């Protein structure tokens, strides 16, 4: 595959691994922010290759993992309504709510469909005027522009049967919350390349300066991640703490201005609960009052749903990197990939699911 295989070259990857090993004089704790990066790390076994010099903590950048239980429960309530077609990205369908998941709602008769774009959901709304089409707008700054675009187009076209259930979150407040925690162990970040493609990296400069942490804007292919690790380890070894851009083929310092404009036209900063971490002030995006008619929470009055996380699940400590998944009392017994208690066990690259599989392998050999 042109433009992909170049970034997966095994020889170059092995050379980078060797260089990271020879650069590090001790073991450093790095956090990759984005779930897509976690996916590559786990899929390629990068953490195992570098385990003696780098400890990778899988960060909170997986929308599947951090979408709070109460938003999932609202999604389930909406999807169960006979007048609603509920649309979502695929991997949200298995995320457990308080009672069940979206796949089970579908089995009970709910109309739940996987779409690849919020604009497909909008198109579905225009084709089925007798139904209310709701799109589950989750994710970070990366997915926000397309979701804002869907709302904006629905507004322009006067579509009356389309709305979004929003659970958007933003990266910088989560990084700050992690760094403010007294038990924080993370010494450098691989920032999410796609988030920065939209937002640029100016927001990260004050964080790197204030907390004295290197922040490397990093891509998603094996060579991207290894190079990001190398840049982070170099900075740590040299005592520097700067924002550095590994993902130069995609990211500019100021990001994508039209996309940012669209997002701030439709969305505003709101307080947001993070699954496993708790409330973080001004860490989420919500629909602006001018577009209230496209906000599913207001249209269907589900904003009264409030739920508690299961107390036994320590997903928050895992996401913050202070607890290894196998030190959680529920790990592998009450909580497995088939029967997840917390979101990091749901998707295969979730920190807990990754350790579950990896641990089974280590104990078997």
Partner 1 sequence: MTIACPIPAVATERIQLGHGSGGKMSAALLRDRFLPYFKNDILAQLGDAAVVDVGGQSLAISTDTFVVQPLEFPGGNIGSLAVHGTVNDLAMMGARPRWLSAGFVLEEGLSLDVLDRIVRAMAEASRAAGVLLVTGDTKVVERGKADGIFINTTGVGVRAPDFAPGPGRARAGDAVIVSGPIGCHGIAIMSAREGLAFEAEIVSDSAALTPLVERLRDRVGDAVHTLRDPTRGGLASALNEIAAAAGIGVVLAEETLPIPGPVAAACEMLGFDPLYVANEGVLVAFVAESQADAAVEALRGHPLGRNAARIGRAVTAHPGMVILQTAIGGNRVVDMLPGDQLPRIC
Residue closer to partner 1 (CB basis): 173 or 222: 222
Residues 6+ apart with CB under 8 A from 223: 6, 7, 8, 9, 12, 13, 16
Torsion angle (degrees, nearest 10) of CA 324, 326, 330, 334: 140
**Is residue 35 a contact residue for partner 1 (CB under 8 A)?**
yes
Structure tokens at 355: 């350790």
> Hey, how many other C-beta atoms are within 10 angstroms of the C-beta on 223?
19
Residue closer to partner 1 (CB basis): 26 or 108: 108
- C-beta of residue 217 within 8 angstroms of C-beta of residue 251: yes
Residue closer to partner 1 (CB basis): 107 or 157: 107
Structure tokens at 270: 């709101």
Residue closer to partner 1 (CB basis): 235 or 255: 255
- From the list 136-144, 149-157, 165-173, 228-236, the region that binds partner 1 by CB under 8 A is 136-144
Task: Please identify which residue in 54, 56, 138, 318 interacts with partner 1, judged by CB under 8 A.
Answer: 138
**Is residue 340 a contact residue for partner 1 (CB under 8 A)?**
yes
- From the list 5-13, 172-180, 248-256, 292-300, the region that binds partner 1 by CB under 8 A is 5-13
Of the candidates 34, 5, 7, the one whose C-alpha atom is nearest the C-alpha of residue 218 is 34
**Is residue 106 a contact residue for partner 1 (CB under 8 A)?**
yes
Structure tokens at 67: 């979408």
Structure tokens at 54: 């780098």
Task: Please identify which residue in 6, 14, 238, 254 interacts with partner 1, judged by CB under 8 A.
Answer: 14
Task: Please identify which residue in 21, 23, 81, 91 interacts with partner 1, judged by CB under 8 A.
Answer: 91
List beta partners, residue 242. none
Beta strands, E only, the chain: 28-34, 54-61, 84-88, 111-114, 132-139, 162-169, 188-192, 215-218, 243-245, 267-274, 278-287
Residues 6+ apart with CB under 8 A from 77: 300, 302, 305
**Is residue 194 a contact residue for partner 1 (CB under 8 A)?**
yes
Least distance in angstroms from the C-beta of 104 to partner 1: 5
**Is residue 198 a contact residue for partner 1 (CB under 8 A)?**
no
- From the list 42-50, 165-173, 227-235, 319-327, the region that binds partner 1 by CB under 8 A is 42-50
Judge residue 307's burial from the number of C-beta atoms within 10 Å of its C-beta, 0-12 exposed, 13-18 middle, 19 or more buried.
Answer: middle
Pairing of the two strands 162-169 and 278-287: antiparallel
List beta partners, residue 295. 164
Task: Please identify which residue in 142, 260, 273, 283 interacts with partner 1, judged by CB under 8 A.
Answer: 142
**Is residue 357 a contact residue for partner 1 (CB under 8 A)?**
yes
Of the candidates 150, 160, 170, the one whose C-alpha atom is nearest the C-alpha of residue 266 is 150
Residue closer to partner 1 (CB basis): 3 or 158: 3
Residue closer to partner 1 (CB basis): 284 or 340: 340
**Is residue 310 a contact residue for partner 1 (CB under 8 A)?**
yes
Residue closer to partner 1 (CB basis): 139 or 173: 139
Task: Determine the 3-state secondary structure of 317 from DSSP.
Answer: helix
**Is residue 89 a contact residue for partner 1 (CB under 8 A)?**
yes
| Size of the residue set binding partner 1 (CB under 8 A) | 62
Residue closer to partner 1 (CB basis): 64 or 196: 64
Contacts with partner 1 by CB under 8 A lie at: 1, 4, 8, 10, 13-14, 17, 34-36, 39, 42-46, 48-49, 61-64, 89-94, 96, 98-100, 103-104, 106-108, 114, 116, 138-140, 142-143, 194, 222, 310, 312, 334, 337-341, 347-348, 357-358, 360-361, 364-365
């Amino acid at each position: 595959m042109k433009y992909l295989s170049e970034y997966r070259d095994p020889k170059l990857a092995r050379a980078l691994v060797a260089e990271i090993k020879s650069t590090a004089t001790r073991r450093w704790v790095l956090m990759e922010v984005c779930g897509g990066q976690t996916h590559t790390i786990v899929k390629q076994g990068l953490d195992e290759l570098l385990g003696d010099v780098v400890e990778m903590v899988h960060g909170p950048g997986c929308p599947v993992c951090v979408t709070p239980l109460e938003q999932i429960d609202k999604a389930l309530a909406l999807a169960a309504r006979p007048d609603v077609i509920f649309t979502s990205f695929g991997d949200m369908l298995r995320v457990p709510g308080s009672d069940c998941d979206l796949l089970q709602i579908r089995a009970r008769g709910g109309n739940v469909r996987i779409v690849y774009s919020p604009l497909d959901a909008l198109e579905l709304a225009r084709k089925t005027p007798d139904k209310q089409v709701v799109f589950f707008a989750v994710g970070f700054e990366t997915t926000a522009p397309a979701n804002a675009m869907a709302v904006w187009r629905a507004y322009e076209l006067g579509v009356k049967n389309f709305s979004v259930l929003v659970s958007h979150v933003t990266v910088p407040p989560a990084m700050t919350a992690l760094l403010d925690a007294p038990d924080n162990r993370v010494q450098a970040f691989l920032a999410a390349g796609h988030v920065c493609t939209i937002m640029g990296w100016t927001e990260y400069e004050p964080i790197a300066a204030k907390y004295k942490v290197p922040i490397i804007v990093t891509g998603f292919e094996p060579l991207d991640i290894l190079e990001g690790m190398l840049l982070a380890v170099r900075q740590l070894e040299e005592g520097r703490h700067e924002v550095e851009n590994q993902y130069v083929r995609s990211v500019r310092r100021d990001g994508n201005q039209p996309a940012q404009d669209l997002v701030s036209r439709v969305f505003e900063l709101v307080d947001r609960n993070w699954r496993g971490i708790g409330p973080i002030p001004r860490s989420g995006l919500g629909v602006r009052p001018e577009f209230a008619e496209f906000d599913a929470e207001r249209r269907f009055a589900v904003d009264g749903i409030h739920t508690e996380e299961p107390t036994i699940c320590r997903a928050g400590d895992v996401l913050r990197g202070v607890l290894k998944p196998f030190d959680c009392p529920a790990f592998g017994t009450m909580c497995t990939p088939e029967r997840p208690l917390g979101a990091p066990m749901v998707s295969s690259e979730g920190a807990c699911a990754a350790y579950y599989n990896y641990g089974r392998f280590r104990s078997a050999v």
